């Protein structure tokens, strides 16, 4: 049986270690926090839930994706917008939700109900929530931008504190970019540690 090779790198961020898994074509397959995120830990052990073995090869900045994530964390608003992604799993419904997540503008949020309306299925609010929670490509496919109908922060695979940090980071960066033409240095942003 042939082993499929995927590239893996880690990016240190102000809110923890982010693992990135990239295919040989340079598409991001998974991005997630390595602490307390069981799905990401399974992926990093090579359990991709399909036939055939997966070999993860440690690679520095595969296809420039790690650099793009680092730029995002210092406030570059457009750094991750055009990154190519490859969803390795997912139902057609989940894929519709994940594509719609990429359309939520940087620094903004959307409710689960609004996201269900955007994909043409307004009654599927709970299913949208489940699909959002199953998103394998955090940050780049911004599931952290989805909030409750009342504006409250709801569950996030990386934890609600991290979700709040990401939303605050994007809002700060959007404000800095509008008022000044420079990025926010990472060391000036509060950390969860």
Alpha-carbon distances, residue 79 vs 68, 70, 166 (angstroms): 5, 9, 15
Q: Rg of the chain over CA atoms, in angstroms?
A: 16
Angle, helix 92-101 to helix 125-133, in steps of 10 degrees: 80
Rounded to whole angstroms, the Cα distance separating 88 from 83 reads: 16
Is 29 annotated in the active site? no
Among 72, 113, 73, 118, CA closest to 99: 118
DSSP 131-178: HHHT-SBTTTS-GGGEE-TTS-----TT-HHHHHHHHHHHHHHHHHHH
Distance of CA 108 to the CA centre of its chain: 15
* Catalytic position from the list 20, 143, 146, 184: 143
Give the residue numbers marked as catalytic.
143
């Amino acid at each position: 049986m042939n082993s499929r090779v995927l590239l893996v790198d880690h990016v240190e961020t102000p809110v923890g270690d982010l693992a990135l898994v990239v295919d040989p074509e340079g598409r991001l397959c998974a991005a997630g926090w390595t602490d307390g995120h069981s799905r990401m830990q399974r992926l990093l052990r090579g359990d991709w839930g399909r036939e055939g073995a997966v070999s993860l090869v440690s690679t520095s900045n595969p296809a420039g994706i790690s650099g793009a994530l680092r730029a995002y964390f210092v406030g570059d608003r457009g750094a991750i917008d055009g990154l190519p992604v490859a969803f390795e799993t997912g139902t057609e419904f989940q894929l519709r939700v994940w594509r719609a997540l990429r359309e939520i503008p940087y620094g903004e949020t959307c409710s689960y109900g609004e996201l269900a309306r955007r994909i043409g299925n307004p009654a599927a609010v709970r299913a949208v929530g489940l699909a959002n929670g199953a998103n394998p490509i955090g940050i780049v496919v911004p599931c952290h931008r989805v909030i409750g109908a009342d504006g409250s922060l709801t569950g996030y695979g990386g934890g609600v504190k991290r979700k709040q940090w990401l939303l605050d980071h994007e809002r700060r960066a959007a404000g800095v970019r509008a008022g000044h033409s420079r990025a926010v240095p990472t060391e000036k942003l509060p950390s969860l540690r």
